Amino acid sequence: MNVKTFVIIIASLFSLGNAKNYDFKVVSILGEGYSLGVKYNNQVYPLKSTLFPLFTGTVNANNIKEYKYVALDQKGKVVEEENFLRTYSNETLNINEVYNSVKVPELPKPLKPMFKMGSEKFQPIPNNIIYNLYAKCNEKDYSFMTDEPFEENTGSSNNLNVNCTFTIISPKTTFQSPGTIHLIGWGSRKYKKLSWSVKLDEKFMGRKAFKLRAMPNEPTLIRERLATELYHAAGVPTQQGTYARVFINGDTYGLYTLVDSFSKNWIQGVVHGDTKAKIGVSYKLYVNGRTCSNFKYLGENYKSYYKTGTYQLDEFDKSVIDPTDEAAKWAPLIRFTKLYRDWNNKYAKDPSEAAIKALAKFLNIESLLRLMAIETLTAAFDNFWLYSSNAALYYNPERDNYQFISYDYDQSLGGWQFNEDVNYQTLIEDCITWAHPDDTVIDHSFINGLLSHPQIIERYKVILAKLSRSTFDPKTVSKYVHALADLIREDVSWNFEAIDKLHIAYDGHVNHYTFEDFESNLAYTPIHSVKDYRYDNALYGLMEWVEKKGDGCRAYTHHTDIQHDVNISDDYDVEVIQYSETPETTPTISSTTKSDAKVTIITTKTKVIGRITSTPPPTSTQISTPTSTPQNNQNNQYISVKFKGTLPSSKYYLGVQRLAVQPNFDLYQDEEDRTSAIYRTWHVTSTTEPSFLYLSRATYGNNGEPSNLCLDLGTYTNGDGYNYLSIVPCSKATHKFRYGGTYGRTIAVYDKNDVPLTDGDGHNLCLYYSMTPRISQCRYIEEKKNKNAEHMEWDIFYL
């Protein structure tokens, strides 16, 4: 039975004369101390919460057409309310579909699969959902943990496990389980917005453990998600996840990433593709002062390895190894170091294939090189290649070899803390020695031993060449980044404001980011630290880094033959688990909801009233015909046109993917299918004089009516200081345009008084065709040897 029919039947069952029952379900983000109600026809009906923060209720009334949610204090008095009206209809029960409307595209996978990457009982966490996680914890232990992330008496990490009851609500499901929570990380404890590890008694989507990573040093909130997906697309197992709004004991922490933990269950499901598989042993790698894991053989006594402080025994199968037998638990690590020592002693100066075959008998070389290629593209400052940290060595009993797995990517993709061990001057173009600025400071003897073999270098370059031209292609990455930005954009301001209002005793670092920081750092604008205001730098905009580093590695692999694409080791035929639709199962459903229950969520939107934050439904002002726009045509006689680029390899129309205000935009809808953006028709008031460019409501290049949105110059600029294009309300547009205004086949830019726009050197400016369109000097069109010339030409089509 479909939902719509089911709703009609239920409604008729509850009809009482002319009255009807109206069901409401809503999740609060207000924390404890407030309840919610629904306001209709100037009446307020309190909703009840049997599973906080989910509020539900049924109103019996003659007719409810419009309603809004309100916040109630403990006496039931309205203290805040939404500033718009919602419309009740049969579709109200499907309101969750709004929150699933963002489709996050997969990144291309150009390499042969190596692992199953999941199982039927351990499927990926849906990547297009924002969960709501509420933890009710032991107050005394929670206070001690948040007051002292580093214990005051010892200065060591506070690793107290705190008992909690967790409630996790998505747009479709409700889950509840007892469990524990504890702090994670070392550097992350320096921030007030703390990161957590959660362990559950019951399984949530097939897992009993996950991490909540705070992203306190990241203005875009996207870098870690992107890095994770890059590893996954390269066929390297990593801990995937999505976003969650986090509330603990009434404290609002903001937006987090909810990602898998490095656990036995994760190894079974992702690496082995079987939740009942026997696992091997994993060892987490750490930095101890200036000492990193170098995998040197230290003898047969396990204590020698333990005492280095760079190895930590992690997961192992208790049905295979006696938990009390320390020597047995450390034996696989000792075996690996001995195997590598013997191999290196024999083959260090042997460039033959025999050396590679011997190494492949105990090391998954292919997986390691893929990991290193992604670390190069992301410049991972706190992972395997540079420091042998935030990584693990895993003995895989299924293949009887060892593999490296990395995790936690908060220092990557241009958003790093300053690192004195990195040469920033060569970081962009250096795709092989970037992690080796001084091997007298950091011992890279293990990696150097591998890279001394030409076959390994060559395979690394093939992997890097394919990834940089496919997975790390700027247009491809841009689609992924903008999808995630669309998913979280309405939570961004709330997230940044939540940390300022967080009432815990710990005075950790706080980066006072803004929504403008989020938008600008997504593109090409760096974010700089400010004393007593912003602790961290983001030296590159996210897409700026992707473009520049990608260009550097594509240049480095320019002469690499990518046709010879054969795994250097572990060349198995592996069938990756396929899912027709990203699942969202509910192992534990509360008694207040059914498996097909639908939940409305008050999300954090751009319009804020106190602590209730929400977005009104689209109104006519968003897509109406211009009325208050600058006028240069008294009769409103619009001419419909389209503009198309003329590059031999790229001929997209000038257009945008959505009818909305945008600080910058891309030209395409689907790069793979060579599809231009949906909204690509424009309206002008003159073809002989400068005109505002009105974006049409028509789709797919058809004719239609103008919207109240116009093309303009944005605030973001490229490295040469030229503005990217933006979409603004026409009432705020400050620039006009004219096709052929300066040179034939160019689109010249003017101010609103029809004066040609020039740069600081007096050069007229025109639209520049690129993935993210911008302006540049019109004169380039006449300099045929100039690489910019063909970017200045546009074709025009009249409708």
Per-residue pLDDT tens digits for 706-752: 999 999 999 888 878 899 999 999 999 999 999 988 788 899 999 99
- Position 414 confidence tier, pLDDT thresholds 50, 70, 90: very high
Cβ neighbour number for residue 396 with a 10 Å cutoff: 20
Structure tokens at 297: 């053989």
Residue, of 606 and 24, whose pLDDT is higher: 24
Over the Cα atoms of the chain, what is R_g? 29
* Average pLDDT over every residue of 40-45: 93
Mean pLDDT of 570-599: 55
Whether 599 and 183 have beta carbons less than 8 Å apart is answered as: no
What the block records as the tokens of 290 is 């200036």
Residue 669 has pLDDT above 70, yes or no: no
The DSSP bridge partners found for residue 90 are none
pLDDT band at 651 (very low <50, low <70, confident <90, very high): confident
Phi/psi of residue 190, each to 5°? -75, -10
- With contact defined as beta carbons under 8 Å apart, do 642 and 693 qualify? no
Q: pLDDT by residue (tens digit) across 273-283?
A: 999 999 999 99
Tell me which of 505-509, 523-527, 553-557, 582-586 is least confident: 582-586
Residues β-bridged to residue 176: 167
792 Cβ contact partners less than 8 Å away, ≥ 6 residues apart: 743, 745, 746, 766, 767, 768, 769, 776, 778, 780, 781
DSSP at 271? I
Closest CA to 85 of 29, 39, 24, 36: 39
Buried b / exposed e over 343-356, threshold 16 CB at 10 Å, is bbeebeeeeeeebb
Cβ atoms of residues 131 and 115 within 8 Å? no
Please give the pLDDT value at position 624. 28
Tokens 């996210």 -> residue: 542
DSSP code string of 443-478: --HHHHHHHTSHHHHHHHHHHHHHHHHTTT-HHHHH
The class of domain 3-101 in CATH terms is mainly beta
* Residue with token string 């100066």: 349
**Does 691 have pLDDT greater than 70?**
yes
* 757-798 residue pLDDT tens: 999 889 999 999 998 899 999 999 988 778 888 899 999 988
Residue 291 has pLDDT above 80, yes or no: yes
Which range, of 21-30, 144-153, 193-202, 507-516, averages the lowest pLDDT?
A: 21-30
The pair of structure tokens assigned to 183 is 């702090």
Contacts (Cβ under 8 Å, ≥6 apart) of 22: 58, 59, 60, 61, 64, 88
To the nearest whole number, what is the mean pLDDT of the chain? 86
Tell me the C-alpha distance between 480 and 468, whole Å. Answer: 15
Q: Retrieve residue 586's tokens.
A: 């509910």
pLDDT over 70 percentage in the chain: 88
The residues pairing with 650 across neighbouring beta strands, listed in sequence order, are: 647
What is the location of CATH 2.60.40 in the chain? 3-101
Instruction: Please name the residue that has the structure tokens 């969650």.
Output: 244
pLDDT reported for residue 496: 96
pLDDT band at 18 (very low <50, low <70, confident <90, very high): low
DSSP for 687-726? SSS-B--EEES--TT----EEEEEEEEEEEE-TTSPEEEE
Residue 623: per-residue pLDDT: 27
pLDDT attached to residue 440: 84
| pLDDT at site 89 | 67
Phi, psi of 708 (to 5 degrees): -100, 20
Backbone angles phi and psi of 670, in degrees to 5: -145, 105
Note the residue count of the chain: 799
Output the six-digit token pair for 702.
Answer: 């058809």
Residues with Cβ within 8 Å of 85's Cβ and at least 6 positions away in sequence, in order, are 66, 67, 68, 616
Phi first, then psi: what are they for 87, rounded to 5°? -105, 125
CA–CA gap between residue 178 and residue 366 (Å, rounded): 41
Q: What is the pLDDT of residues 358-384, one digit of tens each?
A: 999 999 999 999 999 999 999 999 999
Please identify which residue in the block is written with the tokens 């506070």.
158
Average pLDDT of the segment spanning 686-694: 92
pLDDT of residue 618: 31
Average pLDDT over every residue of 647-652: 82
- pLDDT tens digits for 468-487? 999 999 999 999 999 999 99
Q: Is the pLDDT of residue 333 over 80?
A: yes
Helix (H) or strand (E) segment spanning residue 358: helix 353-360
Listed range (204-208, 308-312, 340-344, 533-537) with the worst mean pLDDT:
533-537
Query: Distance between CA atoms of 144 and 298, rounded to whole angstroms?
Result: 40
pLDDT at 53: 81
Helix (H, G, I), strand (E, B) or coil at 781: helix
Please check the confidence at residue 532 and state whether its pLDDT lies above 90.
no
Provide the percentage of residues in the chain whose pLDDT is more than 90.
Answer: 67
pLDDT at residue 741, as a whole number: 82
pLDDT value, residue 670: 55
CATH architecture of 622-798: Trefoil (2.80)
Rounded to an integer, what distance in angstroms lies between the CA atom of residue 188 and that of residue 196? 10
Please determine, for residue 615, whether its predicted confidence score (pLDDT) is greater than 80: no
- pLDDT score recorded for residue 577: 79
69-79 pLDDT tens trace: 899 998 999 99
* Side chain identity at residue 4, one-letter code: K
Vertex 687: Cα angle to 685 and 688 (nearest 5): 115
Cα distances from 419 to residues 412, 447, 487, 552, 629, in angstroms, run 12, 20, 32, 21, 50
Beta carbons of 522 and 485 less than 8 angstroms apart: yes
Q: Which residues contact 511 (CB under 8 A, 6 or more apart)?
A: 216, 217, 219, 534, 535, 536
Residue 1 has pLDDT above 70, yes or no: no
**Given this model, what pLDDT does residue 90 score?**
58
C-beta separation of 162 from 123 below 8 A? no
Identity of the highest mean pLDDT range in 48-57, 400-409, 488-497: 400-409
| Angle, CA 425 vertex, CA 421 and CA 426 arms, to 5° | 85
Q: For 126-148, how does the pLDDT look when each residue is reduced to its tens digit (9 = 90+)?
A: 999 999 999 999 999 999 999 99
Q: Which residue has the higher pLDDT, 272 or 702?
A: 272
Residues of the chain with CATH 2.80.10: 622-798
Q: Decide: helix, strand or coil at residue 182.
A: strand
pLDDT of residue 676: 86
Task: Please say if the pLDDT value at position 595 is more than 50.
Answer: no
787/640: higher pLDDT: 640
